[in-house]
Chain A
Amino acid sequence: DTEVTQTPKHLVMGMTNKKSLKCEQHMGHRAMYWYKQKAKKPPELMFVYSYEKLSINESVPSRFSPECPNSSLLNLHLHALQPEDSALYLCASSQKDLGTGNTIYFGEGSWLTVV
């Protein structure tokens, strides 16, 4: 079982709604990530937090707003999404920065449908 927990597992939201995806890890990891994955495609990096600070934003539209309240929690706030934003949203964590041999561990993901 994954040690990265994501909620909710499924979310359906309208284009005018505001919702949030939540992620929690208790492995003492200090880097956390949001990825987006569409069907039959690899995961695409959205954001990286390192020591609770945003270190990478892959030019993600502002309708996606990440937040890292502490070293164990990562949120993704959603507002005014489009149907094409429907996807699997994966949270991941890793030990500090990705040094040699370190890699990331994914949560089970949140399936998002925008209607």
Chain B
Amino acid sequence: RKEVEQDPGPFNVPEGATVAFNCTYSNSASQSFFWYRQDCRKEPKLLMSVYSSGNEDGRFTAQLNRASQYISLLIRDSKLSDSATYLCVCKAAGNKLTFGGGTRVLVKP
């Protein structure tokens, strides 16, 4: 079983719609969680950290469920520019992040 698992997608989303997807992690000692966004042939860029109480950044909302060991990302009012691969990242002890395989989102007109 992978440490961090994501549905690879693609999630085909009409422009203006809402899309949500999850990421499950197996290491209960994971302390910090992040969502990164990666465009085709570009580097991953930090989208947002995920806090225990959940947090929102504009159209993006992240949630953490420690009991069930998953985090989620919700995108409201999807834009064409939201098309990308979204990487879930978890940190346990030490200077090491574990990346999920990524969820591909395609927003279509």
Contacts and interface: CB of A to CB of B under 8 A. Distances in A.
Nearest to B102: A42
B32 interface: yes
Contacts, number: 53
B101 A41 contact: yes
B46 A98 contact: no
Nearest to B101: A42
Interface in B76-107: 87, 89, 91, 94-97, 99-102
B37 to A, nearest CB: 11
A101 B43 contact: no
A42 B8 CA distance: 11
Interface stretch (A14-22, A64-72, A105-113): A105-113
A56 B96 contact: yes
Interface of A: 2, 31, 41-43, 45, 48, 50, 55-56, 88, 90, 94, 97-98, 100-109
Interface of B: 31-32, 34, 41-46, 49, 87, 89, 91, 94-97, 99-102
27 contacts: A2-B43, A2-B45, A31-B95, A42-B87, A42-B99, A42-B100, A42-B101, A42-B102, A45-B96, A48-B95, A55-B95, A56-B96, A90-B43, A90-B44, A94-B95, A98-B32, A98-B91, A98-B94, A100-B31, A101-B49, A103-B32, A103-B34, A103-B97, A106-B43, A106-B45, A107-B43, A109-B43
Given A97-B95, A98-B95, 9 more contacts: A45-B96, A48-B95, A48-B96, A56-B95, A88-B41, A98-B32, A98-B96, A100-B31, A107-B43
